[in-house]
Amino acid sequence: MCMYRALLLCCALIFLVPAATRGAETTPQVTPEDQLAQANEHFLHGDHAVADMLYTELFELKPYSAGLLYNKGLANLKQKEYGWAVLYFRQALWIEPRNRTYKDALHTALDARKTEVTPVAPTWLHVVWESLVGFFTLSELVWASFVLLCISCGLGIKWLHSGDLRRRHRWLLWCSVGLWLAVTAVGAGRWHIHHDPARVVVIADTRMTSGPGADFPVIRDVYAGETPRVLRVQGMWLEVRGEAGPVGWVDRDSVERVMPVLGNE
């Protein structure tokens, strides 16, 4: 009798397991591309909150891309979440720094935010440096630095072996060395920006206090979209320097780091 029951059980398993497998295989799977299309469709129909939710879920399904970050920022901008919009537009520009559409969207978000202070006008040297650092990707700078280093080494080796170098070759050597140093400096600056934990964006309106706690006197209101720099951390509070210079403390949950972006350069 036991053998008869065991035989019936084996036969049942033989028929049921393939059927269950076929049922699982026929279950439709939503691909990241399908979900992106759904999110874009919701956005076009004005369902910005639903589109925002779908874009957020996509971050867990596929690597970050500039287009996805830009779409997420647009959804936040339509919902007047200016802090998140500024954050995602900046991250999209990190991947594609020369994209004019992303730059215009960032300026739109910065102009739409509320603020009580006027940022300090940067010097011309700061403007030039920011332009150079923000124009090239890190991979482009690394390749350019490598090529210039190879050229400089080749000319230097030729100089050492021959004991003499033509005047034009000598100028080429010094120019290549100078360019290599400049490109390396710009690349180091961009790498520092990518790994700088002090670069944050305020994602929710908050207040800047004179000390690390809500009981300290309030210095001023801080609005979503502002980009202070973190000076130090104490528990759940950050000491930051505002865009116009005042130093104070803000709640850690009200800011978000700009970098890093989990995507390809």
Q: Using one digit for the tens of pLDDT, what is the confidence trace for 138-188?
A: 778 888 888 888 888 887 777 777 766 666 677 777 888 888 888 888 777
- pLDDT value of residue 249: 93
User: How much is the pTM?
Assistant: 0.69
Average pLDDT over residues 103-126: 75
Say yes or no: domain 32-112 is CATH 1.25.40.10: yes
Tokens at 155, concatenated:
């000319």
Tokens at 29, concatenated:
């799977």
3-state secondary structure of 215: coil
- pLDDT value of residue 119: 59
* Helical (H) or strand (E) element with 255: strand 255-257
Q: Using one digit for the tens of pLDDT, what is the confidence trace for 42-57?
A: 999 989 999 999 998 8
Which residue, among 263, 241, 242, 238, has the nearest Cα to 252 in the 3D structure?
238
Name the CATH architecture for the domain at 200-257.
Roll (2.30)
- pLDDT value of residue 75: 93
Question: Which phi and psi (to 5°) does residue 26 adopt?
Answer: -85, -5
Instruction: Report the share of the chain in percent with pLDDT over 90.
Output: 18
Place of tokens 């790498």: 191
Residues with Cβ within 8 Å of residue 16, at least 6 apart in sequence? none
Which residue, among 105, 103, 49, has the nearest Cα to 82 in the 3D structure?
105
